[in-house]
Every structure is written in C-alpha cells, then in structure tokens.
Amino acid sequence: MLTRIGGRPVGPGAPLFTIAEIGLNHGGSRDEAIRLARAAAASGASAIKLQTLRADRLVAQHCPAPAHVQAESLRDFFRQFELSEEAHAAVAAEARALGLVLMSTPFDEGSVARTRRCRRLQDCEWRHHARWPDSSRRRDRPADGAVDGHELAR
C-alpha cells in the first residue's frame, strides 16, 4: 500500500525515500543546518529531519550534566542545540529550494507550535501523533506513515 510523504509516493513500487537525519548535528547553527541540508540533497536524500527542542522544556533546571559532558548542567548542554524560529524558517526555505521534504521531531508542545508556524511559512503538511484521540488505534504504530510520531512534510 502506498502512502505519501510531502506529496511523494512511499511504499512498494515507489522510488526509494531516504531521510537524512540532521537531528542536532547543526550544533545550534543555522548555517551548519543549511550546509547539512545541501549535503543531504547532493547525496540524493529525499528528506531532511531536524529535532526541534527548547532546553528549558526538555530538561529540569538543576539536572546535572553527565560526567562525559562539558556543561554546567544538562539543560545548558541541550541549549547549544536550539535553533531559533528564524533559523528553522531558513532551513525550511532551503530544503524547499533543494526539493527536499522537511521533517521535524518536536520535543515539547512549544516546539510543536514552532513547527506549525514553519508550516504556515513554507506551505507544509503537518501531522502530529503525540496524542491518540481514538483509543481503538494501536498505540505502537503511528498513523499516516509518520516518522517518530511527528512529521512535517513539504
């Protein structure tokens, strides 16, 4: 059975759909995120995926950093991976210009809202499966072919 992600068919008989996970590898840098998107496009990827987070919503204020992490706290460690809303919009625009589908895994409701605003800026399709209103739906499988329970697709 075919499904669509960002308008592209995915499934048996469809061209291979590859997702380049940028995740947090941009280190909070808009320019690095765009460079990684360009590298993904050059390598033939179909999509890129970011992780959208706000450290103050992800980690408790006084949570210590693990011994192998050089940061005052775990929150400070994750703060370095935040992309501003403007940076998200710039990455989304670049992805669109490169013909890539943009996906994001938001880690908190504020990041879901940020991703939705990006959707309005970039005319993207949004699916959010964090909550299951229909209790009869299997909870171990996301609906509509979503990745990591969340999908933002051009």
Q: Which CATH number do you get for residue 121?
A: 3.20.20.70
Better-scored residue on pLDDT, 124 or 72: 72
- 53 near 106, Cβ under 8 Å? yes
Print the domain residue range for 140: 17-153
Tokens describing residue 151: 């999908």
How high is the pLDDT of residue 119? 56
Q: Does residue 32 lie in a domain region?
A: yes
pLDDT tens figures, 3-13: 888 888 899 99
Residue 89: pLDDT band (50, 70, 90) is confident
How high is the pLDDT of residue 108? 77
- The predicted model gives 68-81 an average pLDDT of 91
pLDDT tens figures, 19-70: 999 988 898 999 999 999 999 999 999 999 988 888 888 888 889 998 998 8
Distance CA 112, CA 99 (A): 23
Q: Does residue 3 lie in a domain region?
A: no
Q: Does residue 109 lie in a domain region?
A: yes
Q: Does residue 5 lie in a domain region?
A: no
How high is the pLDDT of residue 53? 85
How high is the pLDDT of residue 4? 87
Q: Does residue 2 lie in a domain region?
A: no
pLDDT tens figures, 118-154: 655 444 444 444 443 444 444 443 343 333 444 444 4
Q: What is the number of structural domains in the chain? A: 1
Q: Does residue 8 lie in a domain region?
A: no
Better-scored residue on pLDDT, 72 or 151: 72
pLDDT tens figures, 96-122: 899 999 888 887 777 777 766 765 544
- 137 near 131, Cβ under 8 Å? no
Q: Does residue 58 lie in a domain region?
A: yes
Q: Does residue 114 lie in a domain region?
A: yes
Residue 117 C-alpha from the chain's centroid: 13
Q: What angle do CA 29, 63, 66 make, to 5 degrees?
A: 75
